[in-house]
Structure 1
Amino acid sequence: MLKLKYLFDNVNLAEMLLGNWEYDKESIDLFKYYRISSNAIYPFQARGKTQMLRFSPKSEKWQDNILAELEFITYLRTKKYGVLETVVSKNGEELVEAQTPWGDYFASVFKRVAGVQLNKTDLSDSIIFNYGKALGKLHQLSSEYNPIKNKRWSYSDVLNWIQTVLIDFPNETSALMETKLLQDYFDSIPITKNNFGLIHYDFEYDNVFYDEKSQSCNIIDFDDAMYHWYAVDIEQALYSLQDCIPAEMFQQKQQCFLDGYRTEYELSADMMSLLPACRRFANLYGYVRVLRSVEEKWENEPEWLVNLREKLKEAMKNESSCFGLDI
């Protein structure tokens, strides 16, 4: 999540950055459908086709991570995997670095994928099966992937980053304890080609689009990709499904998901046993990202920002409930 000061709509900045690409001038009206979280996303059109401008302050991202993300996406497309496609700038760049009156930014453009977000479907057994199948295929392709130029960071890098952030929050002793517990736990798990690799990390229903025509899924938003146990993606996907599936149906849908996964990749009992620790990792990472984002406060904040702070505060309370407990 970006720092709160970057969550404000800035059409002028978006238009300035978009000038690095070809676009239909009249489609700037689509900017009103923007969203900002870990990046700012502004839709527009080029030759009548919807595309997405994604940008963030350079101070909030690591260039090597972004380049590694784009390289992995390219690899997946060469394997005919359903994934978003980058659009090169007028200068032939996938990643643009731009100096603006609002600071230095990274920007990229992606084509809109086919289909609708998973949660806007009827979430039938067939669709959930294909959701799991898509994740299994992703892990199968990841297990064979060797980056050529750039490598994403790993779970250990993330935990080191968390410790660095917590230096500025000396009262967050339970979060620091949780960081060390998770580092020790994961360090004790043997890493193999079959259980560990480059994961999506955010393989949740809002990043998965189901295409009825091909009866398959298309995946977006690899911004949080990292080297980790494949179990993390499974945990994140199943955890997100609880938001849109009635509790009494969840076990059945979970089985559909896992059955789909197994058609593409092995799912061992050892991998499933990692799920509780994977949830702990996701909770800690989310907690610290928000902690860092909300640190700055201003007088006379708009109502939407005040409400957002309250929602984030409640989320942090839930995420930290298990900090420091034995894994």
Structure 2
Amino acid sequence: MLKLNYLFHNENLAEMIVKNWSYDPESTEMFRYYRISSNAIYPFRKDGRTQLLRFAPVQEKNKSNIEAELAFIKYLRENEYGVLVAVKSNRGEELAEIRTPWGVYYASAFVRVPGSAINQTDLADEIIFSHGHALGELHRLSSKYEPEPGAPRRWSYIDVLDWIDDQIKEYANAAIARSEVQLLREHFADLPVHTRNYGLIHYDFEYDNVFYDHEAKRCYAIDFDDAMYHWYAMDIEQALDSLQDCISEELYNHKKHCFLEGYRTAFDLPEDPDAVFPALRRFANLYSYARLLRSVAEKWDHEPEWMQHLRTKFEQSMRSKSTLFGTKLS
């Protein structure tokens, strides 16, 4: 999540940045369908085909992480995995660093994947199965992935815990969250690590980041912005948590079975994943808490109503996610 002051819709900024790519000039009318969260996303068209412009201030991102993300996406695409395609800028760059009156931004552009986000489908069994298969295939390819010598590497869960500790230490009442960091460090240090259970994961393989193409009957993954080295079970836990948000409690166990069966067709399930899910959920809650805390830390006079509403929503989420902080991990 970007800091709140970066969440303002800025069409002039988007137009300055998109001019670094080839585009249909009249397609800037699509900017009204923008979305801003961890990045600003603005749709546009090139030769009638929808593409997505993604950008964020350089102080909000790690350049090596973005370069490593794009390299992993390229590897997946070369192995015929359903994934978004990066579009090179007019200067031949997949990652552009652009100076604007509002500061310096990192920007990339991607071709929109086919199909619909899974949370916009009827969540039929075959779609849930395909979602599980796509995650298993992602982990299978990840287990064989090694960045080019000298190329940037994505950060790991250890780096994320270091980042969290650094980000929250200056805030009031940070002690309980910092104790959660230490609990997770100690817990994860005892878990086995090998190529069948640990590697570069998507981290956010949820239903708004996975598209299902009914014609091809396959899934396409987008938004690798949170990718990190972690246990594969982290992706499974996040996906199943997202599933619970989409369907009724009565259907959950059946749909969970469909998802896991799909996963097994591509990759072996981690041993006893249910045993590690609670600690992984604690990690996800802590990471989200730290990002939200950082986002809402600064306040201004006469904030617009949407910002006040978002601040309240984030603060409520932080209270919910921090309920178990500092308590014993089983």
TM-score (norm 2): 0.98
Distance 1:245 1:267 in 2: 23
Pick from 276, 279, 288: which aligns with 1:277?
A: 279
Secondary structure class of the residue paired with 1:321: coil
Structure 1 SS opposite 2:268: coil
Matched-pair contact (CA < 8 Å) for 2:232–2:270: no
Q: CA RMSD in A?
A: 0.7
2:123 aligned counterpart, secondary structure: coil
Give 3-state SS (helix, strand or coil) of 2:212's partner: strand
Aligned residues, how many?
327
For residues 316 and 242 of structure 1, the distance between their equivalents in structure 2, rounded to whole angstroms, comes to 20
SS in 2 for 1:227: strand
Cα shift at 1:244: 1.0
Residue 218 of structure 2 corresponds to which residue in structure 1? Answer: 216
CA-to-aligned-CA distance 1:233-265 (integer Å, 9 cap, x gap): 000000011111001110110011001001111
Could you tell me which residue of structure 2 aligns to residue 101 of structure 1?
Answer: 101
Matches of 2:253 and 2:318, distance apart in 1: 27
* 1:289 partner letter: R
Q: Any unmatched runs of 5+ in structure 1?
A: none
Offset, 1:269: 2.9
Correspondence for 2:110? 110
- Identity over aligned residues, as a percent? 58
Spell out the pairing of 1:40-119 with structure 2 (5 A cutoff).
40-119=40-119
Residue 133 of structure 2 aligns to which amino acid in structure 1?
K
The 8 Å contact of residues 198 and 229 in structure 2, kept in 1 or not, is answered as yes
CA contact under 8 A between 2:169 and 2:178: conserved in structure 1?
no
Deviates more, 1:186-195 or 1:161-170: 161-170
CA distance in 2, matches of 1:244, 1:167: 35
Matches within 5 A, 1:105-254: 105-148=105-148, 149-254=151-256
Shift of 1:2: 0.2
1:182-211 CA distances to partner (integer Å, 9 max, x unpaired)?
Answer: 011111111111100000000000000000
Larger CA deviation: 85-94 vs 160-169: 160-169
Unaligned runs of 5+ in 2: none
Deviation of the 1:99 alpha carbon: 1.0
2:34 matches 1:37: no
Query: What is the deviation of 1:130?
Result: 0.5
CA shift digits 1:131-181 (9 cap, x unpaired)? 000000000000000011121000000000011012211421110110000
Instruction: Tell me the amino acid that sits aligned with residue 222 of structure 2.
Output: I
AA matched with 2:165: Q
Whichever residue aligns with residue 136 of structure 1, its letter is G
SS state at 2:54 partner = strand
Which amino acid in structure 2 is aligned with residue 161 of structure 1?
Answer: W
Matched residue, 1:2: 2
Question: In 2, Cα distance between the equivalents of 1:268 and 1:236?
Answer: 14
Counterpart-to-counterpart distance in 2, 1:157 and 1:175: 16
Contact 1:232 1:278 in 2 (8 A): yes
Q: Kindly indicate whether the alpha-carbon contact (under 8 Å) linking 1:118 and 1:206 is maintained by their aligned counterparts in 2.
A: yes
Question: Is contact 2:65–2:153 with CA below 8 Å preserved after alignment?
Answer: yes
Contact 1:195 1:271 in 2 (8 A): no
Q: Distance in 1 between matches of 2:80 and 2:168?
A: 41
Counterpart-to-counterpart distance in 2, 1:113 and 1:190: 36
Q: Tell me the distance in 1 between the aligned counterparts of 2:187 and 2:102.
A: 42
Structure 1 residue identity aligned to 2:215: K
SS in 2 for 1:42: strand
Native 8 Å contact 2:196 2:270 kept in 1: no
Distance 2:172 2:233 in 1: 31
Structure 1 counterpart of 2:218, one-letter code = S
